[in-house]
Homo-oligomer: A and B are copies of this chain.
C-alpha cells in the first residue's frame, strides 16, 4: 500500500509529528477521503496559491499583501523590534495587547544537539532590522536553548549597535498559576525579578 506509506511520509515531514502519529493520521485520512482528506487537500492548494512569507518579519501573509499587515501598518512603532523564535508566536504576542512595535521571527533557535546553528537564525537580517530600532525585545522561550540563543543575539547586536537597548520578557509565575505548581527555577527567577506594589 504505497499510497498510505507516502501519505504517512508526507505527514511526518511536519514538525513535531512522529512516525507513529503520522501513520495514524494517514490511516484516518485514507479512511475518510471526503470528510478529512478532501478539505485538507483543498486548503493546502488554496494556501499554496494565495499565501507567501513576509519579507520583513518572516510571518505568513497573503501573496497580495507583502510586507504583511503588521509590518506595513503605519501606526506601529518602528523603534521597537520584538524578536520571536517562530512566526506562530506573533499572534500570541498581539493578543497580549501590550506591544505596538514591529516583529522579526528568527525561524528557530540555536540547537547544537539537533545540529541547528546560526545559519537558520537569519542573524544578518536581524542586525539590519535592529539598526533602525532603539530597542530589541527578545520574546524567546525560557528553556536552555532559548537562553543560549538570547545570549548569542544580545552579544551579536550589542557589539555592532552599542546604543541599542536589548531587553527580554520577564520570567516569573504564569498568571492564574499557583506557587505550589511552580518549579524552583521559575520561583527563583520570579523572586529575582520581583516588582514593587
The chain A residues found within 8 Å of chain B, CB to CB, are: 1, 3-4, 6-7, 9-11, 13-17, 21, 23-31, 33, 35-51, 53, 58, 60-62, 86-88, 91
Contact = CB atoms under 8 A, between A and B. Distances in A.
Contacts of A47: 3-4, 6-7, 26, 29-30, 33, 37
Given A16-B21, A24-B15, A30-B60, A46 B3 contact: yes
Nearest to A35: B13
Contacts of A17: 25
In the complex, the count of this chain's copies comes to 2
B43 A31 contact: no
- Which one of A4, A39, A86 has the greatest number of beta carbons of chain B within 10 Å? A4
B15 A60 contact: no
Given A7-B40, A27-B88, 4 more contacts: A4-B51, A15-B24, A41-B44, A41-B45
